[in-house]
Amino acid sequence: MFQSFRLSMAWLHTWFGLVLGFVLVVVFFFGSLSVFDREIDRWSIPQSRFEPQPMPSFDRVLAPALSSMQPDPAVVAGVKDRVNGPLPERFDEVRTWGIYTTHRDPVTTVFAGFAVPGAKDPDETLWAVHALDPRDGKLLPQSQLAIGSQWFYPMHYSLNVTWKELGTWLVGFAALMMLAALVSGVVMHRKIFREFFTFRRHKSTQRNTLDLHNLTGVVALPFHFFFAFTGLVIFAGIYFPVAHTQLNALHELSEKIEASETGLPHERAGVAAPMASVDAMVAEAQRRWQAKGMAGEVGYLQVQHPGDANAYVSVFRAGTDRVALTGEGIHFKASTGELLREDPPRTAVDNTTEFLEGLHLQHFRHWLLRWLYVLGGLTGCVCIATGFIFFVEKRKVQHAKAGSQGSRLVDAMAVTTMTGMLVATVAMLLSNRLLPEDLAGKGLWEQRVFWGAWALALGHAFVRSAPVALGRMNPAWREQCGAVALLAVAAVVANAVSTGDHLVRTISQGYWPVAGVDLSLLALAGACMLAARRLSLRSGGRTSDAAASLGAAGLTTVEASRG
């Protein structure tokens, strides 16, 4: 099919990169934002704008809040078709309580899982999830959306398409093909070391775009390869769901055997029992970690079968002092506080997996490395964007001569993916500050703004793409860059007006989570304004060149037909 192996790799790199690049650029961009998802949360929920807190007292703060939680009515309505008979007004059988926090979280995430009476599946569980103010134990309204951790972060790995986990599967396939594209790119560029030092910015658009594509691909090659690979490792349980397919019965048997061996009850006893002081269990767990030289705060606390004689409490370290997601779990009998089990040392395979997952998820304390993650992710966006532009620039005049619409289609999709994605992101942040705080379903409205803005950007990109079919530049690039700049500045102003947390105040107080988001928005606005100006100047100079090129091509065709 191809004259050489290198040409076959070039074909694979071009077409796999083109088709799946639209997915990968979304993954890279929102992965970059997810590095600071908790900081974006503070910007989007002003009630959480205070310093991070350690996990609060379970006995005094958490227990009353957890006891009062019930599933959201919308969640309850979603299981009506999976239940025999009517659903109760209140769910009393709690299967598990969970409490989670990090060193960057002012608020504490609390959740409760409830058994569903009459469910067709005995394991059916309804979940109630809240953000809790650890200072007074008040639950924050569920209508508020933590944009960073509940929208941008899931967009990174699932595109927020939850039906049949389709988004997660699509991202996984794109990551797998990305590994192939990286390898094929290395094969194509035999002088890869030279690409590290080559960028001819004063050459033609096609030349300097290819140089920038090669440069960003080579500089961040280890980063891109590692994160594509570890992303597949993290979701291996979804891509290869052995435990929930033919081997489901064996999986459940294994859980029961493990429960009997570890002393952690798998089922409820059906006998009510009071709960001893969980704070005392937490103190004992911290004492044991201290004895091992691993002092630290609690990151995750779980109570299984609360209120039952078989209830037990699991306490896990935050582990911000290391890369691996170990946790060092210690488990206690809930009714007496008796120690049931300390998790044993991990195997070499477990240690390797946890290190890879920890390096990808970066729960550790290292601000410089976080910014390097952001830089690596944005470098991936630039690499893919320049690949799109090079594809169009190389073919658009040729396609214009032939009357083909291929370059126009690719260019419109590239505009939608790159600048359209920015329009949607900034529009969502702006809507977060403009919509009333007490608006019912505020988070749903913000999501609608996100998808609506992206849909408008898609329509605009296609409507304005006609010049590409004539060998010229799509003005949608320039116009959407201008829109992003205006929206970004408006979001900063709206934050200052609606909360009083303007940049002078947040910088002077050293409150960098909110100041950092505002500064990032202003930096984005500046970059987009500069890009819009450069594109405006370039499009003016290139229009006459493209027309002359097409005119010459037409004259040649006429003369050839006469001859």
As a whole number, mean pLDDT of residues 128-154 equals 89
Confidence at residue 545, expressed as pLDDT on a 0 to 100 scale: 47
On the question of pLDDT at 234 being above 60, the answer is: yes
* Dihedral over alpha carbons 124, 126, 127, 128 (to 10 degrees): -170
On the question of pLDDT at 40 being above 70, the answer is: yes
- Give 268 or 489, the one with higher predicted confidence: 489
Beta strands in 323-476 (DSSP E): 330-333, 339-342
Confidence at residue 249, expressed as pLDDT on a 0 to 100 scale: 61
The edge-to-edge listing of strands for the beta sheet with 312-317 is 125-132, 108-115, 94-100, 298-304, 312-317, 330-333, 339-342
On the question of pLDDT at 54 being above 60, the answer is: yes
Confidence at residue 482, expressed as pLDDT on a 0 to 100 scale: 96
Confidence at residue 541, expressed as pLDDT on a 0 to 100 scale: 54
| Ranges 79-88, 212-221, 226-235, 539-548: which has the least confidence | 539-548
Confidence at residue 221, expressed as pLDDT on a 0 to 100 scale: 87
As a whole number of angstroms, the distance between CA 427 and CA 422 comes to: 8
On the question of pLDDT at 559 being above 50, the answer is: no
- Give 129 or 196, the one with higher predicted confidence: 129
Please report, for residues 43, 142, 318, 326, the alpha-carbon distance to residue 49 in angstroms, rounded to integers and kept in the order given: 7, 17, 22, 29
Task: Please answer whether residues 383 and 390 qualify as being in contact, where contact means their C-beta atoms are separated by less than 8 angstroms.
Answer: no
As a whole number of angstroms, the distance between CA 271 and CA 273 comes to: 6
Confidence of residue 252 (pLDDT cuts 50, 70, 90): low
Task: Please answer whether residues 462 and 468 qualify as being in contact, where contact means their C-beta atoms are separated by less than 8 angstroms.
Answer: no
* Dihedral over alpha carbons 486, 489, 491, 495 (to 10 degrees): -160
On the question of pLDDT at 534 being above 50, the answer is: yes
- pLDDT, tens only, 421-461: 999 999 999 999 999 988 888 999 999 999 999 999 999 99
As a whole number, mean pLDDT of residues 356-379 equals 90
As a whole number, mean pLDDT of residues 455-473 equals 92
On the question of pLDDT at 276 being above 90, the answer is: yes
Confidence of residue 60 (pLDDT cuts 50, 70, 90): very high
Confidence at residue 253, expressed as pLDDT on a 0 to 100 scale: 63
Q: What is the mean pLDDT of the chain?
A: 86
Confidence at residue 547, expressed as pLDDT on a 0 to 100 scale: 44
Confidence of residue 544 (pLDDT cuts 50, 70, 90): very low
- pLDDT, tens only, 79-126: 888 888 888 889 989 999 999 998 888 999 999 999 999 888 888 899
Q: Which two tokens stand for residue 395?
A: 């073919």
Look at residues 388, 407, 536 and name the one whose alpha carbon lies nearest to residue 467.
407
On the question of pLDDT at 536 being above 50, the answer is: yes
- Give 113 or 18, the one with higher predicted confidence: 113
As a whole number, mean pLDDT of residues 59-86 equals 90
As a whole number, mean pLDDT of residues 492-516 equals 95
As a whole number, mean pLDDT of residues 147-151 equals 94
Look at residues 204, 201, 206 and name the one whose alpha carbon lies nearest to residue 386.
206
Confidence at residue 550, expressed as pLDDT on a 0 to 100 scale: 42
On the question of pLDDT at 247 being above 80, the answer is: no
Please report, for residues 3, 15, 411, the alpha-carbon distance to residue 11 in angstroms, rounded to integers and kept in the order given: 12, 6, 19
On the question of pLDDT at 364 being above 70, the answer is: yes
As a whole number of angstroms, the distance between CA 188 and CA 507 comes to: 48
> Cα 340–343–344 angle (5° rounding)?
120
